[in-house]
Amino acid sequence: MSHQRIVFSEDLQDGELRAIEHEGLHLLVSRVAGQYFVTDNLCSHGRVLLSKGKLRGKHIICPLHGARFDVTTGQCLSGPTQQPIKTYATELSVGELTILLQADESR
Ligand code: FES
């Protein structure tokens, strides 16, 4: 299966977020306990940018209505929706994080 790769330097600290926009796709990179996780950056409830919310441990909290998502699984844990957010595979090598998008995920 073909992949598209987004590469950037891994320079976040634990608890920090980064929003990435790539060809119309909104992605959220979160660092939790030394590991990087990549999910959609749009809340599944109202298409609000989750990067404007707060990361608490492995939970990102939507700034609009407070939905809480687990960035490690994309699962919605509480709030006005139960719809998960999508997660993306990553590869980490020295100083660089690569996000792997399947061909149908890039626009
Ligand atoms: S827009 Fe995120 S919980 Fe409503």
| Residue 71's CATH number | 2.102.10.10
3 pLDDT more than 80: no
Its pTM stands at 0.91
Number of folded domains in the chain? Answer: 1
* 94 lies in some domain: yes
* 85 lies in some domain: yes
* 107 lies in some domain: no
Domain that holds residue 92: 3-102
User: What is the identity of the amino acid at 36?
Assistant: Y
Does the CB atom of residue 77 touch ligand 1 within 6 A? Answer: no
* 50 lies in some domain: yes
Per residue in 53-105, pLDDT tens? 999 999 999 999 999 999 999 999 999 999 999 999 999 888 899 999 876 67
Looking at the CA of residue 65, tell me the nearest atom of ligand 1.
Answer: 3
Does the CB atom of residue 71 touch ligand 1 within 6 A? Answer: no
DSSP 82: -
The C-alpha atoms of residue 81 and residue 84 are separated, in whole angstroms, by 8
Q: Output the CA 87–ligand 1 centroid distance in Å.
A: 18
Q: Quote the pLDDT of residue 70.
A: 98
Does the CB atom of residue 45 touch ligand 1 within 6 A? Answer: yes
